[in-house]
Amino acid sequence: MLDIKDLHAKVLGREILRGISLQVNAGEVHAIMGPNGSGKSTLAQVLAGRDGYDVTGEVLYKGKNLLAMSPEDRAVAGVFLAFQYPIEIPGVGNLYFLRTALNAVRKQRGLEDLDAMDFLAHAKERMKLVEMDQSFMTRSVNEGFSGGEKKRNEIFQMAILEPKLAILDETDSGLDIDALRVVAAGVNALRSKDRAMLVITHYQRLLDYIVPDHVHVIASGRIVKSGTKDLALELEKHGYTELEQQLPARPSPALGGAL
């Protein structure tokens, strides 16, 4: 599904990703953990096609060169990013926004547009996954949503768009324990043998609910350790500091932590 080889990313001349290699197969859930500033979110942004990074290396998505595709082409091809900070779009109805997005994806898949009525039925059914209130639909995209509502809305969008590769960027941040359960249940319901997920998180907590097949630790722009879910528990116990100290070559202090 996803094959990342020696991925580097620079912003304003500073190297944030320093050679990431990672393989993700369909049906797998990979957790990406790491301290603040280690490059986790940059990895998510680069995979989704955010402008402003100077990227080298190779990323194959279903055998295609992902880095050559525009953000919208990646999206319709099945790459979904659940944003760490979902964006507000005042005046644009949540439901309208999602229907436009879904129809863009459907077009790519050779399907007819869903009309407003069919879409509504589909959306209502999907909303149950994240226990969202119907009033969400008539509100503007993320406008005036609480932090928890925004995160739920991201997972709701994922449920609607049914991506092949879902990247969840700190979906647990800012959630209380009840909201975390709801969001995790939504994510788990979307796990399937032909869908891969990259779950980016700072804390082990999320992984109690979304149990990963693999765990990778990023520090200073590199994957420094990979393992099973036990690795996450180990991290919880010892923290990132110890792990960072094991690194053979630390980058210069100016780069560590600053980003």
Partner 1 sequence: MNVQTEIRDLTNQEYKYGFVTDLETDVVPRGLNENVIRLISAKKNEPEWMLDGRLRAYRHWLTLEEPRWQNVHYGPIDYQDIIYYAAPKPKTAGPKSLDEVDPEMVAMFNKLGISLAEQERLSGIAVDAIVDSVSVGTTFKKKLAEVGVIFCSFSEAVQDHPDLVKKYLGSVVPYTDNYFATLNSAVFTDGSFCFIPKGVRCPMELSTYFRINAADTGQFERTLIIAEDAAYVSYLEGCTAPIRDKNQLHAAVVELVALEGAQIKYSTVQNWYPGDKDGKGGIYNFVTKRGKCAGANSKISWTQVETGSAITWKYPSVILQGDNSVGEFHSVALTNNRQQADTGTKMIHIGKNTRSTILSKGISAGRGQNTYRGLVKILKSASGARNHTQCDSLLLGDQCGAHTFPYVEVKNPTAKVEHEASTSKIGEDQLFYCQQRGIRQEDAVSMIVNGFCREVFKELPMEFAVEAQKLLGVSLEGCVG
Give the nearest distance from C-beta 52 to partner 1 in angstroms: 8
CB of 227 to partner 1, least distance (A): 30
Least distance CB 81 / partner 1 (angstroms): 5
83 or 240, CB closer to partner 1?
83
Phi and psi at residue 126, to the nearest 5°: -70, -25
Q: Please say which residue, 25 or 111, places its beta carbon nearer to partner 1.
A: 111
Residue 36 identity: N
Query: Closest Cα partner for 42 from 245, 164, 221, 184?
Result: 221
The dihedral over CA atoms of 175, 243, 233, 204, expressed in degrees to the nearest 10, equals 10
Specify the residue, 98 or 219, whose C-beta has the smaller distance to partner 1: 98
Cα(53)–Cα(42) distance, integer angstroms: 9
The label of the residue with tokens 């999320």 reads 206
- By C-beta, is 166 or 179 nearer to partner 1? 166
Count CA within 13 A, CB hemisphere, residue 200. Answer: 23
Q: Is 238 exposed, middle or buried (0-12, 13-18, 19+ CB in 10 A)?
A: exposed
Q: How far is the CB of 184 from partner 1 (least distance, A)?
A: 22
Residue ranges binding partner 1 (CB under 8 A)? 48-51, 70-72, 74-76, 80-81, 83, 86-93, 96-98, 100-101, 104-105, 108, 140-141, 157, 161
Q: Which is nearer to partner 1, 157 or 204 (CB)?
A: 157
Least CB distance to partner 1 at residue 53 (A):
12
Length of the chain: 259
